[in-house]
């Protein structure tokens, strides 16, 4: 009888301890990961077993460690998963002006501090790709039975024989067909002879001033695919990105007024940088 009562008392005490341990879960919504101590204990246990799993402190879900950013913590990972971190950042950017301004200043400083590294990385990346493409396309020839879409203003789908070889590109061909490439060359010469160098002049689409001639194109105001000519009256300088995004879109009246004003100012300038004659 005594032994039975003792077993019953032990079971009762065990039950009471279990209820006491579960009480923080009930207080915090019935979820063990909402209790910081329990969440830490679970993360330590998972790490000790060598499992690549971690509990997020924000959404209270078990996720793979690949879903967390690296951080200088005891386990080497941030407490929030990437999704929760992104949601929190977006919410603060929308509701806290001081936080948004601090991030804007930091982003600009980081961008310019690492501009040279980014430029060098881009140059190395494209150089490696071009060298690999040169090897891959060493025996490349145009196949008249294979079609390719021109990325120039014509936008036509033509046989590969309509494109010049450029073995440094991925497919071994130039992006523009022969007609568009020749038209671009004539347009650039005519635009330079009429309006001078693009440096110091604005792009008529984004209105930003050119600081160099890199990735600057002479854009046809009236697209060549719609009958536009290569004469100076139908040309003005544009960034390569702006020109590609515009494609064959017709200009708005505001854009026409802007580009005509730019043409008149450039034509009346006292000094012109002409294209050297061969």
CB-CB contact of 52 with 64 (8 Å):
yes
Q: Show Cβ contacts of residue 176 under 8 Å, excluding neighbours closer than 6 positions.
A: 150, 151, 152, 163, 184
Q: Which residues pair with 236 in a beta bridge?
A: 219
pLDDT of residue 274: 46
Task: Indicate the domain borders of the chain.
Answer: 2-89, 137-267
Q: Which two tokens stand for residue 126?
A: 């494209």
Would you write out the chain's pLDDT as a tens digit for each of its 278 residues? 455 567 778 767 766 765 565 566 556 556 777 778 888 888 888 888 888 999 999 988 899 999 999 998 888 899 999 999 999 999 999 999 999 999 999 999 999 899 899 999 999 999 999 999 999 999 999 999 999 998 877 788 999 999 999 999 999 999 889 988 888 888 889 889 888 889 989 998 888 888 888 888 888 888 877 888 888 888 999 988 888 788 778 888 998 999 899 888 888 876 544 444 44
Of the candidates 239, 224, 236, which has an alpha carbon nearest to the alpha carbon of residue 260? 236
Fold of 2-89: Wheat Germ Agglutinin (Isolectin 2); domain 1 (3.30.60)
Burial of 42 (0-12, 13-18, 19+ CB in 10 A): middle
pLDDT of residue 35: 78
pLDDT of residue 28: 56
pLDDT of residue 1: 47
CB-CB contact of 25 with 31 (8 Å):
yes
pLDDT of residue 4: 56
- What count of Cα atoms within 13 Å lies in the side-chain half-sphere of residue 72? 0
pLDDT of residue 25: 57
- Tens digits of residue pLDDT in 63-80: 999 999 999 888 889 999
Q: What share of the chain is helix, strand, coil (3-state, %, to 5)?
A: 55, 10, 35
Measure the CA–CA gap between 10 and 214, rounded to whole angstroms: 83
pLDDT of residue 11: 67
């Amino acid at each position: 009888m005594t032994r039975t009562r003792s077993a019953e008392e032990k079971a009762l005490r065990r039950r009471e301890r279990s209820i006491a341990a579960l009480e923080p879960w009930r207080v915090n919504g019935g979820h063990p990961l909402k209790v910081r101590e329990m969440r830490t204990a679970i993360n330590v246990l998972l790490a000790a077993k060598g499992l690549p799993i971690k509990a997020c402190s924000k959404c209270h879900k078990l996720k793979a460690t690949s879903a967390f950013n690296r951080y200088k913590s005891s386990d080497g990972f941030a407490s929030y998963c990437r999704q929760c971190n992104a949601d929190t950042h977006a919410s603060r950017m929308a509701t806290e002006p001081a936080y948004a301004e601090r991030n804007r200043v930091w982003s600009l400083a980081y961008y310019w501090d690492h501009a040279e590294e980014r430029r060098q990385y881009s140059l190395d990346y494209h150089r490696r790709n071009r060298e690999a493409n040169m090897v891959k396309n060493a025996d490349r020839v145009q196949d008249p039975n294979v079609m390719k879409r021109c990325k120039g203003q014509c936008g036509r789908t033509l046989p590969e024989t309509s494109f010049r070889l450029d073995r440094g590109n991925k497919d071994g061909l130039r992006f523009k067909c022969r007609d568009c490439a020749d038209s671009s060359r004539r347009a650039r010469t005519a635009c330079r002879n009429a309006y001078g160098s693009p440096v110091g002049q604005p792009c008529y689409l984004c209105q930003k001033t050119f600081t160099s001639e890199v990735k600057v194109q002479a854009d046809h105001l009236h697209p060549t695919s719609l009958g536009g000519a290569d004469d100076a009256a139908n040309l003005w300088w544009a960034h390569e990105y702006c020109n590609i995004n515009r494609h064959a879109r017709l200009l708005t009246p505001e854009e026409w007024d802007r580009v005509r004003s730019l043409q008149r100012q450039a034509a009346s300038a006292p000094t012109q940088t002409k294209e050297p004659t061969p």
